[in-house]
Structure 1
Amino acid sequence: MKSVHIALIRHSVTEWNAVNRIQGHFDSPLTDHGRQLAASWIETIKPESFDAVITSDLGRAIETAEIITEGLNLPTLRLKDLREQDWGKWSGLTLEELNEKFPGMLDEEISKGWDFCPPNGENRRITSARGIDALIHGAGKVAEMVDKKHPKVLAVAHEGVLKTVIYKLAGHDFMDDKPKLVKRRRLHWLKYDGNLSIERLNDIL
């Protein structure tokens, strides 16, 4: 069976990221800085070495992937299940507004680990399950499309889905007293060979 190697990153900086506004399933475009940052990753990622691209269906992930792979015309899959965690009623609020309107609730949810769930949103278990399913589905499609024994895929997703996928694969419980596995703006390598697994984490971009 083929083994598909997946380079997983988060999208670059958006207008809402810049003001600490929660996006969830909402969307906002990359800032000029975000576009420059994504372009700066090209040298490290070496997109010409990849065989395909997987992104969520949200604009910020698509735009990041397009900047990194500009001019390469790589096969691309856009998968809804790679979307960010749904933050429900908290979507669109800044962190300051959230804490004003729902005092103490964010810290209360964070203390629940895997059961963190914004009102009318989804918990981390659901986010992880759909994210893993999406990566497996995407890797399987790439294995069918690409005539190589070890295809390489660039996957551009979101912080919440990226962390829940990695934490699930690593058996991490998401509690604050445990070391954080995922560093900011890093490249993570997964492998799909019938099972999805971690190859290595936190390569510097």
Structure 2
Amino acid sequence: MMKNIFKKKEESSPKPLGKLFYELETLEASPFSLALSSFQSLKESTKSTEELFYFLIEDSIYVSLYATFYEELIKHLKTNPESTNTFIERFQAASDERERLIAEEAQNHLNFIENFGMCEGCSSCENHKDVAELITPFQKGDIDFFSELYIGMQTIQNAMEALIYDILPDNNDLAAILSPKDILEWRSQIFSYATIKTADHLHNL
């Protein structure tokens, strides 16, 4: 899950999604600007720095988990590109149940982090390792780390939504060639971009 986002991207040949994110960033409602707006709204709606801190952690985990569902959808589209619109419609129709499951797992992971890596047993135990790297910044109370993580994950979420709901329905050929590696590299590209932009933003506050 999150651990893959932090891996250094290897040099590779041009990928199908190479330019897409930067094209999305030219829009007024770009993935990063929407993420930044979400961050600002969260800051304004929380009553304390501590409350903001916990919201940033849980929401980052939630969005990261959601991204794995997008990746699974894209795998299905690759093998059935002619049914892209049908699969996307079914995916959207199942959003309530999916969001309930994700919220439950996100809460389990947050409990694991709050307990410094201890868990007495829950339905998400086998996946706790994916968020173990968040324990140290949690212990340090590193709100800048989680601010960058939140904005980065929100930027990925916004870009993935644009890809799935706005681009792929009219581009079955693209759906047919996307691989899990393409999506992972795209997520890494987006996260790196958002991290740099966020650092500049936080520095100028």
Structure having greater relative contact order (Cα 8 Å, sep ≥ 6): 2
Into which bin does the TM-score normalised by the smaller protein fall? under 0.3
More helix by share: 2
TM-score by length of 1: 0.27
TM-score by length of 2: 0.27
